[in-house]
């Protein structure tokens, strides 16, 4: 038993599958690039948050030092006033 076919009816891999594979490959690469960009952006945000946190910590330490200094000055002034 034989099947009669016309050449145009046969499946042509290169013409029918390759364009689909190219689109799939392009979309996969595009998605990978997007994910890398998102990861880089998140890393940049984390770095920025750490830097801000460090600046705030330094400012808080400076404020505490100023407060200590002012308290010492105040204590010395009150001692002088009490002695007189």
Q: For the segment 15-35, what is each residue's pLDDT rounded down to a tens digit?
A: 889 999 999 999 999 999 999
CB atoms under 10 Å from CB of 19, counted, come to 10
* Total residue count of the chain as it appears in this document: 84
pLDDT at 5: 66
pLDDT at position 3 over 80: no
Listed range (9-13, 42-46, 79-83) with the worst mean pLDDT = 9-13
Q: What is the pLDDT of residues 43-81, one digit of tens each?
A: 999 999 999 999 999 999 999 999 999 999 999 999 888
Element holding 17 (H helix, E strand): none
């Amino acid at each position: 038993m034989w099947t009669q076919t016309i050449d145009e009816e046969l499946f042509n891999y290169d013409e029918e599958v390759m364009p689909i594979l190219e689109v799939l490959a392009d979309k996969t690469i595009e998605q990978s690039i997007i994910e890398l960009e998102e990861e880089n952006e998140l890393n940049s945000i984390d770095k920025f948050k750490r830097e801000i946190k460090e600046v705030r910590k330094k400012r808080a330490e400076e404020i505490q030092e100023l407060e200590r200094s002012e308290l010492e000055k105040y204590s010395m002034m009150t001692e002088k006033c009490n002695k007189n």
